Amino acid sequence: MKSELLKALNLVRSEGRPVALATLLDDGDQWLIDESSDGGASEAIAVLTRAAIVEDRSQIVDCEGATLFIHVHNPPLRMVVVGAVHIAQALSPMAARTGYRVTIIDPRGAFATEERLPGVDISNEWPDEALRRMKPDLRTAVVTLTHDPKLDDAALQVALSSEAFYIGSLGSKKTHRARLNRLERLGFDKAARDRIHGPVGLPIGAKSPAEIAVAILAEITQARHMAARVALSQRPAV
């Protein structure tokens, strides 16, 4: 790899942006490609490379009669959980095992401790402040679990203004309707409110904290792969 490309790749990765290095195996030509730049590559190479970024999978593909190796360098998946509750204790290790960097936000210091939540990042900031600092992106899932509108609604307002691919909130259908009404009064339109998965998790009849955590992670997994399929379906044909 040329030193200029290596420097550019390291810069993009340090900024936490999805990027891929496309290499023609026949002659060694290389291009650094992301959503905003094709790096001088042909349209066909750029389309295939961006599709690989969305799929989150490095791959070898045929392109214009040549063999193209696409090395994807996506930032880590992130899961931000508001509320250091029992569900969070079950959800965090499962999410970590499936590739997420987990952050638990809870200003209640007695709940958000390393003893209760080992191996995750912990923030005792107010949820909206923490989320603004974290800047949820297309590889971020946000889940609110506190049942306290002062905490959950503050987080949801920031999440709905972000590119987070998944937003979910714990609570009954009645609680969720009240939540949506509050957000409507705050100026969030129906399209924005519809982004919230509530009650959170797939409807598998979950009862215990561990079962609810399974339902939440399953729904997040479904949403991530669905988003990838939608993005791929919108790509122009090569």
* Sequence ranges of the domains in the chain: 3-75, 77-227
Residue 1 has pLDDT above 70, yes or no: no
The tens digit of pLDDT for each residue in 131-142 reads: 999 999 889 999
3-state secondary structure (DSSP) of residue 119: coil
Q: Is residue 55 within 8 Å of 226, Cβ to Cβ?
A: no
Q: Which helix (H) or strand (E) holds 32?
A: strand 30-33
- Of the pLDDT bands very low, low, confident and very high (cuts 50, 70, 90), residue 236 is low
The tens digit of pLDDT for each residue in 61-120 reads: 999 889 999 999 999 999 999 999 999 999 999 999 999 999 999 999 888 999 999 999
Q: Position of tokens 């399974």?
A: 214
**Strands of the 140-144 sheet, one edge to the other:** 121-123, 100-105, 77-82, 140-144, 166-169, 196-197
Chosen CATH of 77-227 out of 3.40.50.10070, 3.30.450.40, 3.40.50.720, 3.40.50.300: 3.40.50.720
Nearest Cα to Cα of residue 29 among 54, 64, 57, 53: 64
What pTM, to 2 d.p., does this model score?
0.84
Give the number of other Cβ atoms within 10 Å of residue 190's Cβ. Answer: 8
- Of the pLDDT bands very low, low, confident and very high (cuts 50, 70, 90), residue 231 is low
Give the number of other Cβ atoms within 10 Å of residue 206's Cβ. Answer: 18
Q: Which helix (H) or strand (E) holds 197?
A: strand 196-197
